[in-house]
Amino acid sequence: MEFPVQNDSVEGRHAKSPLASEPKPRAYPGGAASFFGALKNPPRQLRWFLGSFFLFAIILIIYRPLLPGSFVIDDASLTGPDNPLVNGTLTPRTIWFQTDFTLATFGWWVQRQVWGENPAGYHAVNLALHALSGILLWRLLARLKISGAWLAAAWFAVHPVCVNSVARISELKNTLSLPFFLLAFLGYLHYEALALYPGNRSPSEGPHSRHRATFWYGASLLAFVMSLLSKTTAVMLPVLLLAGAAWERRRITRSDLLHTTPFFILSLAFGLMSVWFQKHQALVTAHLTLQSPSFGERLAGAGQDIWFYAGKVFWPVNLSVVYPQGKSNTDSVAAWFPILGLGLVLALGWWFRRSWGRHALFGLGCFIISLIPVLGFFESQFLTIGRVSDHLQYLPMIALLALAVAGLATLPGKTIFRGVAIVVILTLSVLTFHRARVFAAQESLVRDTLAKNQSAWTAHNDLGIVLVKRGDYEGAAHEFQNALQGNPDYADARLNLGLALLIQGQPDEAQRQFLAVLQVKPYEPLAHKQLGEILAGQGKDPEALYHLKVALRFKPDADARLALASLYYKNGDTRSAVEELYRGLALNPDQADALNNLAWILATDANAEVRSGTEAVQRAEQACRLTNYKQSAMISTLAAAYAEAGRFPEAIATAEKAVKMQTAGGDARMAEINKQLLTLYRSGKPYHASQAGDKNR
């Protein structure tokens, strides 16, 4: 198998002046008035346009099920409160060196400003970036003079393994990193042709120019930085650049090492940062732990993973979001078969390196090199779910596809080549369309995952959330329990189980689940909040106050502020209750219960310094408007506010309305209380808590 590479030797690149190979200008009928007459090489330009248009069109067709689509897996959390730019933890100025995947995080924030909660816009951006990667890949492979460059790009564009990256909004880090990665590679090749090996310069690159060479080198470095900021698995680019030099020129020169040094420095810096962040931030923050396998186990597992990924490239069936997690038993000889087989293949390529082996080594080598960051040699959060995932080979699979297409191009006769190419494109397109339909909704995705892997505990948890939204709390609790069977330390599933049990009226069992959550995640705000509310209902006010305060220390929450205010009010500390209600309303100005409770205190508190009739009326009227004047308790509060403000006719009319509503609703107790209050209002007196000695409401 031969890749058509011109001027194979280093000497051959300098044997001829680059100017001598420039084509002469070609005349076009119609002169400048003609569209094509304005182009230097119309057939080539037209091919680029039609090829790019077709890639965009086919991607839009096969990914059509994603539009408008929905948020799946962790999409909503990354475009919502968990994004540090959304929750205010970080700002667009402070984010850049404080998070992993910084540019992708910033991209989610920008899109949220544009699309809000509409998933269609996010999906459209991912599709556009994927199409752009296909076009850039075509350009890169063509620049490397690899046969079938467009076909390899098309196979990549329509490959079903890519769906896991393109269909998930949370995988913007993949779809954003790859275009920059390809631009960096392409830019370096242009620089190389202009400054290092001018004999390899194509006519379109023009004559040697120091400024143009500097531009391409700077553009390549900048694109590489942007790729690393999107996803740090791009760190292997400089190694791939050297691999390309070894393949194309059969050697790596001192110039190659010197001019790739800045790329290696960037790779080392970002790689170390990512390793530190994953180990000391991502895993610690999520309270996740990883086993520490020996190097032998990691190596044996890496061999298995490489063959797994290669298998999915050439036989993309039974794809899953979460694959069954195997374990490398290095005591078994069979565990070493994959890595030994891989070594045998590479050795065979080296043996035949003077012919087809050189090209096979380049393709396989690029594939393996690109996979190194995700083969389990470094601790990472994704390893807690599974060793392999489709989205982890979004970039590496390109090398195998290019190798396969180049090998196909060696077949005799164009008819066979075109026939096989068309059949493969159609087959992959059908598989991708079907896979995109699976990713179109959360329920279809998690059910598909569980059908292929019942031990996928994260999928059980996700299905439980789907059932909660449907109102099937019993079914949801069952799924959360299934998730905990797969991973007893899965705090999110245990927290969700507690919430489902609480909704089903099982506070004691829910309390046990929340306490178990705190054993794994001691500062989980929602668990503390729910425990505080349960304990308050049990009359354990000191314990309830503690948990609510801890919850608020780690996450501002309007509901927790409301619960804490109720506890303060219950214990006679109305000043603290008012402060908490103000803080809660700062978080959620339209929280009707908080408005109502604040209005009641401002209207009825025994302390004149706390009362404010005017503000009480404003708050009570707002609460009533938010509930369309259909809550009798809030109408009662409004009557008390009118009385405190001295507006007794309105207080009487409003209290009478409350009595009618409560009588009609069968709430005899509240109707009787309001009748007593009416007596006060008719006598021109407001109600203050000290008059009845009752501080509870």
Question: What pLDDT does 83 receive?
Answer: 75
- End residue of a domain, out of 589, 616, 639: 589
Distances (CA, A) of 458 to 252, 292, 481: 46, 22, 11
Q: Which residues contact 666 (CB under 8 A, 6 or more apart)?
A: none
- Which residue numbers in the chain have pLDDT < 50? 1-40, 691-697
Question: What pLDDT does 88 receive?
Answer: 73
- End residue of a domain, out of 438, 462, 494: 438
Same domain, 173 and 280: yes
Same domain, 242 and 287: yes
CB 346, CB 361: distance < 8 Å: yes
Question: Which residue in this structure is represented by tokens 């779809």?
Answer: 175
**Angle, helices 648-664/632-644, rounded to nearest 10 degrees:** 160
Q: Is there a domain that residue 480 lies in? A: no
Question: What pLDDT does 276 receive?
Answer: 79
Q: How many residues belong to the chain?
A: 697
Hey, what's the torsion of the CAs at 558, 562, 563, 566, to 10 degrees? 170
How many C-beta neighbours within 10 Å does residue 374 have?
23
Same domain, 604 and 582: no
Question: What pLDDT does 16 receive?
Answer: 33
Q: What is the CA radius of gyration of the chain?
A: 33
Which H, E and C letters describe 564-602, residue by residue?
Answer: HHHHHHHCCCHHHHHHHHHHHHHHCCCCHHHHHHHHHHH
Same domain, 244 and 256: yes
- Domain range enclosing 572: 527-589
The pair of structure tokens assigned to 183 is: 């631009």
Rounded distance between C-alpha atoms, residue 604 and residue 693, angstroms: 11
Q: Is there a domain that residue 467 lies in? A: no
Q: Is there a domain that residue 500 lies in? A: no
CB 150, CB 191: distance < 8 Å: no
Same domain, 145 and 232: yes
Rounded distance between C-alpha atoms, residue 267 and residue 303, angstroms: 24
If one counts the domains in the chain, the total is: 3
Question: What pLDDT does 340 receive?
Answer: 93
SS3 167: coil
Q: Is there a domain that residue 521 lies in? A: no
Rounded distance between C-alpha atoms, residue 149 and residue 146, angstroms: 6
- Secondary-structure percent of the chain, ordered helix, strand, coil, rounded to 5: 70, 0, 30
Across 77-97, b (16+ Cβ under 10 Å) vs e yields: ebbeeebbbbeeebeeeebee
Q: Which residues contact 519 (CB under 8 A, 6 or more apart)?
A: none
Same domain, 419 and 540: no
Sign of the torsion formed by the C-alpha atoms of 465, 470, 471 and 477: negative
How many C-beta neighbours within 10 Å does residue 8 have?
11
Rounded distance between C-alpha atoms, residue 369 and residue 328, angstroms: 21
474-520 pLDDT tens trace: 999 999 999 999 889 899 999 999 999 999 999 999 999 999 999 98
How many C-beta neighbours within 10 Å does residue 168 have?
25
pTM over 0.85: no
CB 193, CB 250: distance < 8 Å: no
Q: Is there a domain that residue 469 lies in? A: no
Same domain, 585 and 635: no
Q: Is the peptide bond before 68 cis (omega within 30 degrees of 0)?
A: yes
Which H, E and C letters describe 247-315, residue by residue?
Answer: HHHCCCCHHHHHHHHHHHHHHHHHHHHHHHHHHHHHHHHCCCCCCCCCHHHHHHHHHHHHHHHHHHHHC
Q: Is there a domain that residue 114 lies in? A: yes
Rounded distance between C-alpha atoms, residue 262 and residue 257, angstroms: 10
- End residue of a domain, out of 419, 438, 457: 438
Q: Which residues contact 184 (CB under 8 A, 6 or more apart)?
A: 220, 221, 223, 224, 227, 237
Q: Is there a domain that residue 450 lies in? A: no
Among 587, 612, 609, residue whose Cα is nearest residue 598 = 612
Q: Is there a domain that residue 621 lies in? A: yes
List the CATH number of the domain containing 563. 1.25.40.10
Rounded distance between C-alpha atoms, residue 441 and residue 439, angstroms: 6
Question: Which residue in this structure is represented by tokens 């078969």?
Answer: 337
Question: What pLDDT does 556 receive?
Answer: 87
Same domain, 647 and 568: no
Rounded distance between C-alpha atoms, residue 678 and residue 694, angstroms: 17
Same domain, 668 and 572: no
Same domain, 673 and 575: no
Same domain, 247 and 351: yes
Same domain, 584 and 694: no
Rounded distance between C-alpha atoms, residue 562 and residue 570, angstroms: 12
SS3 523: coil
